[in-house]
Structure 1
Amino acid sequence: MSKLLPYEIIVKAHEGDPDAIETVLSHYAGYIRYFSKVHGQVNAEVEEYVKQKLIAALFKFRFDR
């Protein structure tokens, strides 16, 4: 299994497909939890903030470069 998300999933997530967005969030769940730790514990507020930043980045992604 490839560690990369399929291009089609990224395009669908960029277009707002909820299933594709959930696939992206699931794919990066480990990273999100790791970077959401405060003093060794996962902070739910930080975790949600990181998820929202990732979703916002999906909508800003440019395919023309």
Structure 2
Amino acid sequence: MRKNSKHFDETDLLPFHIIQAASAGDVEAINVVLKHYEGYIISLSTRKMYDEYGQTHYCVDEALRRRLETKLITKILSFKIA
């Protein structure tokens, strides 16, 4: 039997105290959140490029990656814990 879905458990989640500190503006906590989502952001910002010989290369669009990180930071800082 083949498994196609990824199994997530509670160890894949950010702890509440990190989320709370990041939303309060703690720089270290914000960096932890950015590190947590780093792989996802890189996968979203990967682009297919072609060289002069027609070879396909996959590269990270650094401008897009920075925009996604900036958007995440602004959402973290505007996040309200109920």
TM-score, scaled relative to structure 2: 0.73
Is 2:30 the partner of 1:21? yes
CA contact (8 A) 2:41 2:65 kept: yes
Structure 2: give runs of 5+ residues left out of the alignment.
Answer: 1-9, 49-57
Q: How does 1:22-41 map to 2 (within 5 A)?
A: 22-39=31-48, 40-41=58-59
Percent identical pairs in the alignment equals 36
> Counterpart of 1:62 in 2: which secondary structure?
coil
Partner of residue 13 from structure 2, selected from 4, 10, 23? 4
Q: How many pairs were matched up?
A: 64
Which protein, 1 or 2, shows the higher relative CO under an 8 Å CA cutoff with sep ≥ 6? Answer: 1
Note the residue ranges of structure 1 that are not aligned, 5 or more in a row: none
Quote how far apart the aligned CAs of 1:61 are: 1.1
Distance 1:52 1:18 in 2: 13
Structure holding more helix per residue: 1
1:41 Cα deviation after fit = 1.5
Letter in 2 for 1:48: R
Q: 1:49 aligns with which of 43, 67, 70?
A: 67
TM-score (norm 1): 0.90
Task: Please identify the structure whose Cα radius of gyration is greater.
Answer: 2
Determine which structure has the larger strand proportion and give its number: 2
